[in-house]
A and B are shown apart, each in its own frame.
Chain A
């Protein structure tokens, strides 16, 4: 690091600590490699493209895949929003936002409508996204067949030949055990009528929002080294049975702050007596509704 500082000093005389990072942390060659993977992923919706994931200054499982995708997409004009389970103010969201503030010196926001790139962990914002936005998902396990077929070679073949019977076996088992499809998050979808895809652990409530969304949706799995994508206006259907159709489902309550009837709710236990209340998981959506009132 000293060498870098000395070298920069010679050239510019003064250098701030933050400028020793390349724009958005990753070096340009890495970003180019990731962009290639992203373009391939966009061309084949739902197909998992391998990429050479880098060590990031955060542990695996904290969004290393999402951060690398965001880093490769960022330009100096971008406005970044980061959410974690819908909230702008939790540790993961705050630290990733600060990370890019520091390494890319870009503007950040908490307002969904103002952001050009939204990195998300496990939610899709309640507000409708537009054509100028990119939604970047953090993905822990990209392979939807992984829990049924542990052999990677075999799942690759199954994707290539669209052998997806086994995916319905999982749903069959769900109905048999519980009387309904119990899977409530990471609910498998079919993208563009071809590839079965794991939508990352978003609640199944969010699944319909992926369908025909005008925004670009990118998925990055850092530890598993996979990137996949849904281009704008692509058909995304949730798997189901004719007699057990897909049901997005939602807690039968209103948000106790803003009163919203149709947003995804978090259940909060409020005291030691087990009293509970339900509030919007999307904090920005909730705050805006309160402001509008």
Chain B
């Protein structure tokens, strides 16, 4: 099987400061890769660099689109933006960054559909209801504005908005950050279900090892902008080799 996304030797600097350095990653279809590390370790820089939000300084990002390998950093701006709104999706930590707050919930979900050319109101409406159902938002809320939604609902709405065009690769930056534990559990449950059901390929960034352990197949541990350890999720977390990973694993609260 060919990887759907492969990142080779990626570097991003902010002036003299290292954002992330010598990063490598392969993502296979249907696989979830988790990126963990402390604040400032370069997780967000890394995910922004591979999702088109930031321009990395060096390295290669290869995306497999229908058996055609696309060099993401060398294609034209227009193709890049087309890919971003059809093949890729980005779930922000703060759902307000990924949603239009003065547009109804349904309107938010419909934007990607209409940007790829759907022009039938009835059909668009049906798709919206299908997705509201999938992310467990009550259908009666379809015409309400996102600002009347709770934090957890906003996050679920953002997920629906991103997944509606069936993108192949999903990037998530701390999707459960800032939510209380029970809501967090609900979102994680939902994500796990969607990943299985739709065979999504996901790169997920989190500082929360529990989130990663629950969702991810593979893991990359970052410190000071570099990957210090990577491998199968269970293997790395059960038998951490690098001292930083050991510290990270041992500092998880046991209840």
Binding site for B on A (CB under 8 A): 148, 157, 160-161, 163-166, 168-169, 172-173, 175-177, 240-244
Binding site for A on B (CB under 8 A): 77-78, 81-82, 85, 100, 103-104, 106-107, 110-116, 119-122, 124, 143
The listed residue (A157, A165, A173, A243) touching B122 by CB distance below 8 A is A243
Given that A163-B81, A177-B143, A243-B121 are known contacts, is A172 also in contact with B107, CB under 8 Å in the complex?
A: yes
- In the A-B complex, list the 5 residue pairs whose CB atoms are closest, starting with the nearest: A165-B115, A168-B114, A241-B121, A165-B114, A242-B120
CB proximity of B147 to chain A, nearest CB, Å: 15
**Closest residue to B110 on the A side, CB-wise?**
A172
The listed residue (B81, B85, B119, B122) touching A168 by CB distance below 8 A is B119
For residue B114, which residues in chain A have a CB less than 8 angstroms away from its CB?
A: 165-166, 168-169, 172
For residue A244, which residues in chain B have a CB less than 8 angstroms away from its CB?
A: 121
Asked if A169 contacts B103 (CB within 8 A), the reply is yes
Among B106, B113, B119, B120, max chain A CB count under 10 A is at: B119
Bound Cα distance A161, B116 (Å): 13
Asked if A176 contacts B143 (CB within 8 A), the reply is yes
CB proximity of B128 to chain A, nearest CB, Å: 9
Asked if B78 contacts A173 (CB within 8 A), the reply is no
CB proximity of A220 to chain B, nearest CB, Å: 30
Bound Cα distance A161, B84 (Å): 13
Bound Cα distance A176, B142 (Å): 10
Among B77, B106, B115, max chain A CB count under 10 A is at: B115
Other than the given A169-B114, A172-B121, 6 more pairs (CB < 8 A) read: A157-B77, A161-B81, A163-B85, A166-B115, A168-B119, A240-B119
The listed residue (B81, B85, B106, B116) touching A172 by CB distance below 8 A is B106
Asked if B106 contacts A166 (CB within 8 A), the reply is no
